[in-house]
Amino acid sequence: MPAPYHSLPEHFPHSPYTAARAAEEAMGDQWQVFPGPRGVTGHLFNSEHTPFTVGVCEAGSLYIRNDERGDSIHVPVNPHTPLTKIGQTIAELINDLF
């Protein structure tokens, strides 16, 4: 099981916003990303304006949520996973939320 985000030392290697930006890069130019307050979430929108949130749940795991449907999936990555791999994993999982 991946290490939870809340167990990281003081300086997080990646914020949910930077993870969302990496997912945007992996998914292509049909997507947009915006930061939530203080970068604690990232908000992705596809070309049809479907909203998704990347965040950290209370248990400390990274998740992606379809904000229209309310469905979410935990992203099975370690917080120290390279950012490009986190983005690719989110891009693969996001299809399950449509």
**Which comes out higher in pLDDT, residue 79 or 92?**
92
Flag whether pLDDT at 3 surpasses 60: no
pLDDT at 59: 83
Contact in structure between 24 and 33 (CB atoms under 8 Å): yes
State pTM to two decimals: 0.84
Q: Region 42-53: what's the mean pLDDT?
A: 96
Query: Domain ranges in the chain?
Result: 5-97
13-33 pLDDT, tens per residue? 788 999 999 999 999 999 999
- Give per-residue burial for 37-47: e unless 16+ CB within 10 Å, then b: eeeebbbbbee
